[in-house]
Each structure stands twice: as structure tokens, then as C-alpha cells.
Amino acid sequence: MSKDHTKKEMTKKAVKTSKPISQWGIAWKRFKKNKAALAGLFIEGIILFMAIFGPFIAPYPPNDISAFMEGRTREAPSWDHLMGTDYTGHDVFSQIIYGAAPALQVGVGAAVFSMVIAVLVGSIAGYYGGKIDTILMRFSEVFLVMPAFLFLIVLLKVAMTITVAGFGLGLTILVLGILGWAGDSRAIRAEFLKLKEYEFVTAAKCLGASNRRIIFKHILPNVLHLIIVLITSSIAINVILEAGLSFLGFSDPNIITWGRMIAYSLEAIRGAWWQGVFPGLAIVVTVLGFNILGDGLRDALDPRLRE
């Protein structure tokens, strides 16, 4: 971290308000200057709005096939149907709005779930070291090496077999989370290995703090910036993976997802491109938003990593 810069900012602030400014405050100031990152935040805001208020802002209800009754299936975009209609007369624009919630739920859910595993494994391995470290890292290597996407397909096939009525999003989140933690756990372990040698940890030990307290109360807050950055990029990856899985048909057929919309559009994409192109754009915009947000957060929270 560039100390001079921070100091200058701190003195400037101190003159104005004479209130101490926290690390997070400094990070937020840096983040605000980054226009691309703000754009990412804005995009995700819109997607989140779509996900929460979807039923209120979508022009047509999810199962509305009135266009089908009028014989207006696969109709080109018009004022009635901003992004056209699909093969059973659903309004593509409304369907995209309904698809925002599952995409965000799976993306965020899986990222958070895999991060919980990654933090547990990474912190224990990094803090205790020795045999525990070796065993846990060998274990994580299995997950790093195996062809994850092939396993995802088999796992979701299992889910489709054991649940009759459709398995919802929970299982997709679970499966993506279980298969996605290994890389992040290594990053967290490396940070713990470094931090446990610092003076504040020795001090805490001298005061008789328990290992659990040192891990979660003393070291973990110092890794928080890394966790936030990792989660953001992991959301982007999980949104893409979820789209791919539902594109291949390995998702709950009762839930409208962008990947599934693209899959359905394929049979007639030559004539009716709007069925597939618009849902795909929704995926690209969402993932792009998380990616630039992640880059911005990295620059703001950990300036050492700035390119």
C-alpha cells in the first residue's frame, strides 16, 4: 500500500472533519474514483432490481401465452413485445426479467457457499500447518484436478432422478458450491500462512487467546478484502456455469432461466434470432458487471495488486 498517499488523504480528511477515517472509508473513496467499477455496481443494481421487482415491472405474467392464442408465436420485436415472442407465445422481454432472480440466486448463493468451505479449509490449513495442512491441501487437489463441469452434469442428473417434481435452485447452488471451493481455499491458505507470523498474532497468543478466536477474530478480518474480491469473481463464474448447465438441459424445467431460453431458441434461431440473442445478452451484461465490479474492488481494497 502506498503509505504517503493514504497519509495525505487522512490529513486532508482530518482537517475537514477531524474524524478518524477507517480503512473501508479509504477503500470506498478509491472505489468511487473508478468509473468502470461504478458502472459495474450500477449494472448489478439494475439486475437486482429486476430480480426483486420482476413480477411488478414485467409487462406480461410468466405463463402468459395470449400471443399464442392470437397466432403470434415467434413474432419479431414490436411495441407490444419489445423483444419479440417465443415458440409458445411467451413475451421474451418478460421472460428475461423473470430469469434475473434465478441467475442471481444461483450465482451469489453458490459463490457464498463455496467461499464458506474455502474459508474453513484455507484458514485451518494455513493456521495449523503441518499434517493438517498436507491432508487438507491433498484433499483440495482432488477438486482442483477433476473435470468439474463433467461432474456437474452427472450430479445434476442425479438430482433430476431423485426429485420428481423438479429440484429447484437449491441443488444447483449446492453442487456448484461443492465443486468450486478448491482454488479459493488455496488463496486464503496462503494469506493465513503469511499473517500468522505477524506480531499481532503473537500478541494475541501471549494474551492467551484461543486458536479459534485468533483465526476468526484476529486473522480473518485481515483477509476480508481478499474474500470480497474472490466472491465477486466467483459469482461471475457461477452465473456462466449455471447458464451453461441449463443450456444443456441440466436444470429444473419449471424455472425460467436464461440458459434454458437460449436452448429452446436453437431449433428456430435462423428465423427468430431474438429468442436466443436477448437472453444471451442478459447473461453477458450480468457477468460483465460482476467482472468489472470485481476488478474495481480489487484495486480499491488491495492497491498492491493494482496492475
Partner 1 sequence: MGYKRYIVKRLIYIIPLFLGISILNFSLMHSAGDPIRLMTLGNPSPNIGEVRENLRIYYGLDQPIYVQYGIWLWRFLQLDLGTSFYSGRTVNTIIGMYAWETIKLQMVALILALAIGIPIGIYSARKQYSKLDITITSSAIMGISIPIFYMGIIFILIFSFYLGWFPSFGAHSLQELRYPFGSYFLDELWHLVLPTVAIAWVSMALYIRLVRSSMLEILRQDYILAARASGLSERTIIFKHALRNATIPLITYIGISIGLLLSGAPMTETVFTWPGLGYLYVNSVTQLDFPVIMGINMIITLIILGVNLITDLLYGIIDPRIRYE
- Dihedral sign computed on CA atoms, order 236, 105, 187, 223: positive
**What residues numbered 102-141 form the site for partner 1, per CB under 8 A?**
138, 141
- CA distances in angstroms from 126 to 113, 235, 288, 293, listed in the order given: 20, 24, 32, 28
Using CB under 8 A, which of 112, 174, 195, 248 touches partner 1? 248
Cβ within 8 Å of residue 139, ≥6 positions away: 121
Residue 284 CB, nearest approach to partner 1 (Å): 5
Cα(first)–Cα(last) distance of the chain, in Å?
13
| Binds partner 1 by CB under 8 A, chosen from 25, 129, 168, 244 | 244
Biggest CA-to-CA distance, the chain: 78
Question: Residue 259 is inside which H or E element, if any?
Answer: helix 258-265
Nearer to partner 1, 155 or 223 (CB): 155
Among 3, 19, 131, 270, binds partner 1 (CB under 8 A): 270
Based on the shown chain and the rule CB under 8 A, indicate whether residue 24 belongs to the binding site for partner 1.
no
Tally of CB atoms within 10 A around 262: 22
Residue 292 binds partner 1 (CB under 8 A): yes
CB 243 within 8 A of CB 258: yes
User: If binding is defined by CB under 8 A, does position 243 make contact with partner 1?
Assistant: yes
Q: Which is nearer to partner 1, 127 or 274 (CB)?
A: 274
Q: Does 307 bind partner 1 (CB under 8 A)?
A: yes
3-state secondary structure of 104: helix
Binding site for partner 1 (CB under 8 A): 36, 138, 141-142, 145-151, 153-155, 157-158, 161-162, 236, 240, 243-244, 247-249, 262, 266, 269-270, 273, 276-277, 280, 283-284, 287-288, 291-292, 295, 307
